[in-house]
Structure 1
Amino acid sequence: MTPRPRSGTIRPPLADTFANTRELLDAAARVHGDRDAYVEPGSRISFAQWVSHARSVAGHFAGAGVGKGDVVTLLLPSGIDYAICYAAAAMLGAVTTGVNPRLGPTETTSILNTSSPALVVHGPSQLPPESTAQRLTVCIDELRSSYHEVNDLPTVDVDRRDPVAIIFSSGTTGLPKGAWFDADNLAASAQAAGIMSAAYDRRMTSTPFSHAGYMSKLWDQLLWGTAIVIPPAPWTATGMARTLIDERVTVGGGVPTQWAKLLELPGLDRHSFPELRVGVVATAPASPDLVRRTADLIGVPLVVRYAMTESPTVCGTEPDDPPEVQFRTVGRPQYGMTVEVVDSNGIVLSPGMVGRVRIKGGCVMRGYWHDPDLTSTAFDSERFLVTGDLGLITTDGNLKLVGRAGDMYIRGGFNVHPVEVEQVIAGHPAIAEAAVVGHAAPVIGEIGVAFVVPVDPAAPPTLAEVRDWTRSLLADYKAPDHLVVVETIPQTAMAKTDRKRLRELAETLPPSRRT
């Protein structure tokens, strides 16, 4: 499947001609200057201030012995301090990794042991686990006091093939794995941004900064001069609307339910968010109705992005794609990316046939940090990254995901892919969100258990209604056998459906809790 070229001839304010990230940071400070780089509740910082503070912190890091190739691990919440430390490490040719605050001590310890950092930066209440207490640490409060120091940094011979970031997976299928990326990877991500980036965008995001959605986008932000806007927490529809307006947001991200709740606010029209040019749907597909309503009511197209820790850019839909394409697919490959669906022997399958998704391109990780064996198993003989996702290529060239290889269950001898069923169930007018897992059953092997969040908690759908709806659109054996009504679908630290937790719930919920 070939990528869709970038629309138009738009070019970023900075051309991609830099030998390393330090050069790009210095150029961004000069060219973008007083423009916002980061906005968080109660504070903001310009590009010039960001780079100046980072240079000061880099001097502090160097004084602590951090140099080229050393790892700096950030136990910090998302925000300005995190961004300053990330840029500071890059100035020294050091490698940054972050720890998602939602991870537990076992996962955090695993990340620290794998990355072997020369320095750990932590918040006042985010101390490293006791098992890693021997590592050199510094509190962000101490670093803040050095933000205005003037430091001469050591000369470092760094090129675009040297590592810049290690991004760890959520660890839902085992301990977290660290995918590492160099500056060429980060530059490729900027080239593949497509509709997501325009000059001096203001991008609202709730993505944890330790996530690939931030760590891999450093060059994208610096080349385009993008302001990262962090909305207030906890999330509310009113707070989202206020942020979109007050911060003149041009690119807004949210899960489907957040977009749906935003549209419920009174008095909205096409003039409500005058700067917003595109909305991005995360973690779950947006129904065709939601795509249409968002476009009709506030004049904003919703697009979908497909990515993973090992390749933070893969596919995406376009604003002019029909709502059904936005809902049923994850679009076409972004610039520079190749996506194929193959069988168990690595043979490329024809459109419409389900197989394993494999990808190649500049956005794909170089490998897993200090783990050549794990890296070797991740790539096939043609240097494609073989994902755990199952999918098919539609006749019009879009990628449709049907589930994870380990999520498929077999009901009465027939393969059922949960994502395909979830998308259909989520289209039911009484259902806001849905997730499906397989559950062991006598005779038939496995059955499907659907967890649903109703639109109206006082009037949830029945199992019969959901089964009839599903069977009207899919084969009858794909209709769920049990229905569990929940307030929310559990999510992982990476804001993805937590299927492990759902399987546990399917095991423990008594029949009385099933419809």
Structure 2
Amino acid sequence: MNEIPEWGTLPRMLRQRATAHPQSVAVIDGDTTLSLSDIRTQASQVARALISRGVVAGDRIAVWAPNCWQWVVTAFGIWDCGAVVVPLSTRGKGIETAEVLRRTGCRVLVAIDDFLGTSYIDQLATAVGGPSSDAPFADLPDVHTLVLLQGDRNIPGTFPWEAFLDLHDTVPLEAAEKRALAVEPTDIFEILMTSGTTGQPKGVMLNGGQILRAYWDWAEVCGLGKGDRLAVVSPFAHGFGINAGMIACVERLATMVPVAVFDPDRALDMVENLGLTTLAGPPNLFSRILSDPELDQRDTSSLRWAIVGAASVPDELVIALQDRLGFERITNAYGLIEGSVVTMTRPGDPTAVVAGSAGRVVPGMEIRLVDSDGAPARTGEQGEIQIRGYGVMQGYWDAPQLTSDAFTSDGWLSTGDVGSLDCEGNLRIVGRTKEMLIVGGFNAYPAEIESLLLHNPKLAQAAVIGAPDDVLGEVVWAFVVPHAGENPTEEEIVAWARANMSNYKAPRRVLVLETLPVTANGKIAKASLRERVDQLRTSV
């Protein structure tokens, strides 16, 4: 493993990279191409404009926009002035977003006004009321500045993108450089929201030093480097999008291609037209590409490596990625916002390891599994995953009790994930303790059942939900997507499951869909599926 250069901070990393490789292409977004020199120049303008609006080191700046080139220069500008970026999900509504802005005390909101026919600003104004005499939103008094990436609004404290950048002339370059170079590796640089689909969102605090190292090492294992072109499908509002998609590309001199809305047809167009070398995302993203009826007529020869994660990976998917898309290397990994990168498969691992596990622990991190009593789980036994090391969060924003509750008395972070370790240290993810079903007294984990269902040769995707049952307490319901050309019935799949898995794991109901609903970061939207289960149960 090559050691990370002694940058320490995002501003110093950007300066070294832009000085040594000024013309290296960092971003391709439609008709806009940015070199590292361009990013440094525009990030400095953003930083100086923020300083002109009174932003000081440690202030929180929210960004509410889909993946785009302005997101990139805004983020590096925020870090240049020593502030903290708070990414906001484009799936969030006005009330949710207002709550995050209040809780983190954001001073500036950088947003796109209209996306996919939705006005974010109108949503927010509906939730918190209109402007005051000197601020964009009367009931968000901390937010004194609103920057619109597109369009304009006649609202106090609001600037269209170009007018905002013009403010940089009011702050000397020397003052901004002094601010950038004063940033310390231990300074918090991002607050990422987590658990929004299962409960009250929590703000995970991470510092620049740990994320620079985590994704330098991640890129080293994956093989991301100069000349690579990575389609960033995961939103910049998600830890993988901003850290692996944005920061790692600049660190490693790769080119990021921001994707605002994933479409398998557009993905294949980008592969052909831009020469993409790298794709990253959960298995269902790759399944959607592989199901494209025109795939065999498309030129995917530029593709070099893929990274899959966030779910079980069928052997057949790994083989199809190699045979049909031509990937030379496929990496599986396990990580979480609170713990960054934890485990990864390695080059040369056999298909069974890549498909059946998330690999081995990365240098600088530790992992242990414990049973429900807190005793160490033996090799092959399931247990809750606990981690510690340099990549673990600094805590939850303004939530000392939640932070304390997340750690054991001896300093390990309890992830809530359930897994097992084989004799070689490969981690297999089984599910989450909170998602665990108790079927007639037996513990059943959705991720394990989903993996088993995908052994059915007719099924391309599967998602499992628990439903209440008067006799067993809970039973399994499955939502599945067949392979192209296959038309399995519910009865066929249930019969197959009963013949091929433990009876308590076999689904009671199976619903066959054309597609599974997904969240903004490409994971299966299980909250939507739970609503579907509730509706079907009440309609009976």
Q: Scaled by the length of structure 2, what TM-score is found? A: 0.86
Q: Within the alignment, does 1:438 sit opposite 2:446 as a pair?
A: no
Q: 483, 487, 505: which is aligned to 2:514?
A: 487
* Paired AA for residue 451 in structure 2: Q
The residue correspondences of 1:311-460 to structure 2 (distance < 5 A) are: 311-456=339-484, 459-460=487-488
* Counterpart Cα distance in 1 of 2:217 and 2:495: 41
**What percent of counterpart residues are identical?**
27
Query: What does residue 3 of structure 1 align with?
Result: none
Q: Within the alignment, does 1:137 sit opposite 2:145 as a pair?
A: yes
* Counterpart Cα distance in 1 of 2:71 and 2:295: 37
* Counterpart Cα distance in 1 of 2:468 and 2:260: 42
Give the direction of change, closer, same or farther, for the CA distance of 1:295–1:139 in structure 2 (3 Å limit).
same
Q: 246, 256, 281: which is aligned to 1:228?
A: 256
- Is the Cα–Cα contact under 8 Å of residues 124 and 139 in structure 1 kept in the other structure? no
Give the direction of change, closer, same or farther, for the CA distance of 1:240–1:501 in structure 2 (3 Å limit).
closer
Query: What does residue 155 of structure 2 align with?
Result: none
- Is the Cα–Cα contact under 8 Å of residues 490 and 509 in structure 2 kept in the other structure? no
Deviation at 1:146, TM superposition (A): 5.4
* Paired AA for residue 136 in structure 1: H
* Counterpart Cα distance in 2 of 1:249 and 1:216: 19
Gaps of 5+ in 1: 1-5
Bigger mean CA offset, 254-263 vs 223-232: 254-263
Q: 82, 86, 93: which is aligned to 1:97?
A: 86
Query: What does residue 215 of structure 1 align with?
Result: 242
Deviation at 1:405, TM superposition (A): 0.9
The residue correspondences of 1:171-210 to structure 2 (distance < 5 A) are: 171-193=196-218, 194-200=220-226, 201-210=228-237
* Counterpart Cα distance in 2 of 1:494 and 1:296: 26
3-state SS of paired residue (1:187): helix
* Counterpart Cα distance in 1 of 2:247 and 2:512: 43
Give the direction of change, closer, same or farther, for the CA distance of 1:220–1:254 in structure 2 (3 Å limit).
closer
3-state SS of paired residue (2:324): helix
Deviation at 1:511, TM superposition (A): 9.4
3-state SS of paired residue (1:121): strand
3-state SS of paired residue (2:453): helix
Bigger mean CA offset, 172-181 vs 52-61: 172-181
* Counterpart Cα distance in 1 of 2:373 and 2:284: 39
- Is the Cα–Cα contact under 8 Å of residues 41 and 231 in structure 1 kept in the other structure? no
* Paired AA for residue 144 in structure 1: E
Q: Deviations over 1:39-68 (max 9, x none)?
A: 112322111001100101111100101111
Deviation at 1:421, TM superposition (A): 0.7
Query: What does residue 242 of structure 1 align with?
Result: 269
Bigger mean CA offset, 359-368 vs 118-127: 118-127
Query: What does residue 278 of structure 2 align with?
Result: 251
Deviation at 1:486, TM superposition (A): 2.1
3-state SS of paired residue (2:434): coil
- Is the Cα–Cα contact under 8 Å of residues 86 and 191 in structure 2 kept in the other structure? yes
* Counterpart Cα distance in 1 of 2:162 and 2:311: 38
The residue correspondences of 1:150-161 to structure 2 (distance < 5 A) are: 151-152=172-173, 153-154=175-176, 155-156=178-179, 157-161=182-186
3-state SS of paired residue (1:419): helix
Deviation at 1:357, TM superposition (A): 0.7
Deviation at 1:35, TM superposition (A): 1.4
Q: Deviations over 1:272-316 (max 9, x none)?
A: 444422112244333211211221334313322222221231222
* Counterpart Cα distance in 2 of 1:98 and 1:180: 12
3-state SS of paired residue (2:307): strand
Deviation at 1:84, TM superposition (A): 1.0
- Is the Cα–Cα contact under 8 Å of residues 282 and 523 in structure 2 kept in the other structure? no
Q: Deviations over 1:132-169 (max 9, x none)?
A: 44321222343334557664134233211111111111
* Counterpart Cα distance in 2 of 1:362 and 1:274: 38
* Counterpart Cα distance in 2 of 1:136 and 1:435: 43
* Counterpart Cα distance in 1 of 2:183 and 2:288: 47
Q: Within the alignment, does 1:501 sit opposite 2:499 as a pair?
A: no
Query: What does residue 31 of structure 2 align with?
Result: 42
Deviation at 1:328, TM superposition (A): 2.4
Q: Within the alignment, does 1:474 sit opposite 2:519 as a pair?
A: no
Q: Within the alignment, does 1:52 sit opposite 2:70 as a pair?
A: no
Give the direction of change, closer, same or farther, for the CA distance of 1:492–1:198 in structure 2 (3 Å limit).
closer
* Paired AA for residue 109 in structure 1: A
3-state SS of paired residue (1:114): helix
* Paired AA for residue 68 in structure 1: A
* Paired AA for residue 99 in structure 2: S
* Paired AA for residue 420 in structure 1: E
Q: Deviations over 1:67-92 (max 9, x none)?
A: 11111111222111111111111111
Bigger mean CA offset, 63-72 vs 104-113: 104-113
Structure with greater contact order relative to length (CA < 8 Å, sep ≥ 6): 1
Deviation at 1:408, TM superposition (A): 1.3
Query: What does residue 104 of structure 2 align with?
Result: 115
* Counterpart Cα distance in 1 of 2:425 and 2:312: 18
- Is the Cα–Cα contact under 8 Å of residues 418 and 435 in structure 1 kept in the other structure? yes
- Is the Cα–Cα contact under 8 Å of residues 235 and 260 in structure 2 kept in the other structure? no
Deviation at 1:180, TM superposition (A): 0.9
Q: Scaled by the length of structure 1, what TM-score is found? A: 0.90
Deviation at 1:436, TM superposition (A): 1.2
Bigger mean CA offset, 283-292 vs 175-184: 283-292
- Is the Cα–Cα contact under 8 Å of residues 107 and 176 in structure 1 kept in the other structure? no
Give the direction of change, closer, same or farther, for the CA distance of 1:389–1:234 in structure 2 (3 Å limit).
closer
Q: Deviations over 1:433-465 (max 9, x none)?
A: 1111221112222111111112247712333x3
* Counterpart Cα distance in 1 of 2:61 and 2:322: 43
3-state SS of paired residue (1:110): helix
Q: Within the alignment, does 1:68 sit opposite 2:57 as a pair?
A: yes
- Is the Cα–Cα contact under 8 Å of residues 97 and 167 in structure 1 kept in the other structure? yes
Q: Deviations over 1:78-125 (max 9, x none)?
A: 111111111111111111111011112232122111210121112233
Deviation at 1:232, TM superposition (A): 7.0
* Counterpart Cα distance in 1 of 2:39 and 2:84: 18
* Paired AA for residue 129 in structure 1: L
* Counterpart Cα distance in 1 of 2:342 and 2:256: 22
Give the direction of change, closer, same or farther, for the CA distance of 1:162–1:254 in structure 2 (3 Å limit).
closer
* Paired AA for residue 279 in structure 2: G
Gaps of 5+ in 2: 115-119, 129-138, 150-159
Deviation at 1:356, TM superposition (A): 0.7
Give the direction of change, closer, same or farther, for the CA distance of 1:470–1:330 in structure 2 (3 Å limit).
farther
Give aligned pairs, total.
Answer: 499
Q: Deviations over 1:225-252 (max 9, x none)?
A: 1211124745133x22231233232221
The residue correspondences of 1:78-89 to structure 2 (distance < 5 A) are: 78-89=67-78
